Amino acid sequence: MAYREIYEGWKADPEGFWMEQARAIDWIAAPSRAFFDQGPAGEWFADGMVNTCWNAVDRHVQAGRGDQAAIIHDSPITGRKTSITYADLQGRVAQLAGALAARGISQGDRVIIYMPMIPEALVVMLACARLGAIHSVVFGGFAAHELAVRIDDAQPKAIIAASCGLEPGRIVEYKPLLDRAIDQAGHKPDFTVIYQRPEHQAALTPGRDFEWQAFQQGAIPADCVPVPGNHPAYVLYTSGTTGQPKGVVRATGGHLVALMWTMKNVYGIEAGDVFWAASDVGWVVGHSYICYAPLIAGATTIVFEGKPVGTPDAGTFWRVIQDHGVKSFFTAPTAIRAVKREDPKGELIGAYDLSSLQALFLAGERADPDTVQWAEDHLNVPVIDHWWQTETGWAIAANPLGIELLPVKKGSPTHPMPGYDVQILDEAGHPVPAGTLGAIAVKLPLPPGTLPTLWNAEGRFRKSYLDHFPGFYETGDAGYVDEDGYLYIMARTDDVINVAGHRLSTGAMEEVLAGHPAVAECAVIGVADSLKGQSPLGFLCLKKGVDTPDAQVVKEVVARVRDEIGPVAAFKTAVVVDRLPKTRSGKILRATMAKIADGDDFKMPATIDDPVVLDEIATALKSVGYPGAT
């Protein structure tokens, strides 16, 4: 069947469509129907009983795939490569789950995971899933304060961490960050489990911290616990407009059904194939496409601990594809830009046998046409942009390779996937004609696998996503649909920025800058960056009478952001200005500032309080080398 027929088929009978897809999942008690009109935006498969770990691990062993590789760890940063079969994975996960259960972890308890790209991160996620415990993975590039905020929100009974992560040229010691976070947080976990890596052994606090091996010694392997379809599988925090991250909830049944559907239909992957998403378990891509989806589908997933360049060179991606026979490869456009910058002619590509590769998938930020073209020219496979968010957990729009490859239009993630009725709305919530820019919204209900709410924050869920356009989910992205129904994602409608495929809150950075004793007022914007897509830039107005030199204040706020949010914020520059441009009602004109920095045309905002401030901003930007600021 062609894409159009499948999409229209879903639209005509969503209930039938999703019940049919649910057949690909092993249910302990099958759901009586797909959609349940309950909760703030509806729920899926709520009365089914199911277990995620069974579907991702045990059922494949039972079906005879026990000897197949489930996880391949390829770590150019340590020089190690290991492979874990489905049977081995089942043993490891059941053992850890047994040890966690013996320490009191049961269905509904939260477990925070703070681990780098090692297979043990997936083992912990799956062990939680086995028990019906709700995991929350925190990305290793976040610092202690961000971890503390998540501890207080999720209130975990346990935290499972590694002793360290490895970045090129440095060891990131996780344990001191974890200790600081636990000190800072009001909530204290009952215990922690620390996986000691050979690169660095962390000092443990007796009575609270357990060493990974010792913790599991003698534990009785645990069975899979049946949970209802609407039971939260995990909470993943993502950036909103303020420093308080949003805890995106993923419900179990819809997650299983939707991810299973995507493996075949979007990524063209079946059981036994090798799939690789070069992201991090701390992001949604890592949850859906490093851990869950490939395993649910019985494929082999690759856990890659390295960078696109420098580990050891810009040929790493191609080496991994060759060595493991990767069929579909998923990364962020920024990673391809990094490779292209080092190897513009793609010379390293020729050194590897990429005959296993059927397609390259890009997401996480806008795939600029130059990058797509470069990849197409050098890889000779379809390059597929697809658009999604932490909130949705899977692609809202894609080119569904497994159904049919639709003609590619560079700069567009193609068409909506079944389940998503995407509409472009004006400020008043009316659909706009083709070619007109507007807010991108999805008609409710959202499909299975998307967020049913925010963790302990239903009011914030409604306010952030449902209230603005009644009857719709507000994506926070702006864009348009062309005459052929192709979707184009152009910008965020809020103050979220996207740096190297990482979603960051300018509001969170502003809170850190405002905490500096010399800063009276501040703003952070995202400016165009040829490698990372965007990079953050701060503006500081200093308090009267401050005699610290500007350069010193800038240095201190840069250090503060790194220390409080983490190196991933990539906050490297700020400028001191006398005033910030504002509307008459006092709103800072961040979007206009970003346009000045990027050298884009902009309309003088009608509500601006004092237009002269924009000239001052342009001068300040010029002084720090922003060429656009003329």
Q: Is 252 in the site for ligand AMP (CB under 6 A)?
A: no
Bridge-based pairing of strands 574-576 and 110-114 is unpaired
> 């992957």: which residue's tokens?
269
Q: What is the C-alpha separation between 256 and 119, in angstroms, rounded?
A: 21
Q: How far is the CB of 363 from ligand AMP (least distance, A)?
A: 4
Among 117, 121, 82, smallest CA distance to 323 is for: 82
Q: Is 233 in the site for ligand COA (CB under 6 A)?
A: no
Q: Is 536 in the site for ligand COA (CB under 6 A)?
A: no
Q: How far is the CB of 389 from ligand AMP (least distance, A)?
A: 4
Quick one: which segment of 166-174, 383-391, 462-470, 555-563 binds ligand AMP (CB under 6 A)? 383-391
Q: Residue 503 binds which entry of ligand AMP, ligand COA, none, with Cβ cut-offs from 5 to 8 Å by kind?
A: ligand AMP
Based on the number of CB atoms within 10 Å of its own CB, is 425 exposed (0-12), middle (13-18) or buried (19 or more)? middle
Q: Is 386 in the site for ligand AMP (CB under 6 A)?
A: yes
Given 385, 421, 495, 598, the residue binding ligand AMP (CB under 6 A): 385
DSSP lists the bridge partners of residue 159 as: 112, 192
Q: Is 570 in the site for ligand COA (CB under 6 A)?
A: yes
Bridge-based pairing of strands 134-137 and 164-167 is unpaired
Based on the number of CB atoms within 10 Å of its own CB, is 103 exposed (0-12), middle (13-18) or buried (19 or more)? middle
Q: Which CB atom, from 387 or from 539, has the smaller least distance to ligand AMP?
A: 387
Given 364, 479, 533, 581, the residue binding ligand COA (CB under 6 A): 364
Quick one: which segment of 156-164, 452-460, 566-574, 589-597 binds ligand COA (CB under 6 A)? 566-574
Q: Is 55 in the site for ligand COA (CB under 6 A)?
A: no
Q: Is 477 in the site for ligand AMP (CB under 6 A)?
A: yes
Backbone torsions φ then ψ of 228, nearest 5 degrees: -65, 155
27-66 positions binding ligand AMP, by CB under 6 A:
none
Bridge-based pairing of strands 246-251 and 227-228 is unpaired
Among 306, 325, 329, smallest CA distance to 316 is for: 306
Q: Is 335 in the site for ligand COA (CB under 6 A)?
A: yes
Number of residues this chain uses to bind ligand AMP (CB under 6 A): 20
Backbone torsions φ then ψ of 543, nearest 5 degrees: -65, 150
Q: Is 464 in the site for ligand AMP (CB under 6 A)?
A: no
Q: How far is the CB of 363 from ligand COA (least distance, A)?
A: 6
Residue 155 corresponds to which tokens in the numbers above? 């209130």
Q: What is the C-alpha separation between 588 and 1, in angstroms, rounded?
A: 51
Given 90, 136, 238, 279, the residue binding ligand COA (CB under 6 A): 279
> 């960050």: which residue's tokens?
177
Among 105, 102, 72, smallest CA distance to 86 is for: 72
Among 543, 540, 593, 602, smallest CA distance to 571 is for: 540
Given 98, 254, 419, 476, the residue binding ligand AMP (CB under 6 A): 476
Binding site for ligand AMP (CB under 6 A): 238, 284, 363-367, 385-390, 413, 476-477, 489, 492, 498, 503
Binding site for ligand COA (CB under 6 A): 140-141, 165, 167, 172, 278-280, 283, 285, 307-309, 331-332, 334-335, 338, 363-364, 499-502, 532, 567-568, 570
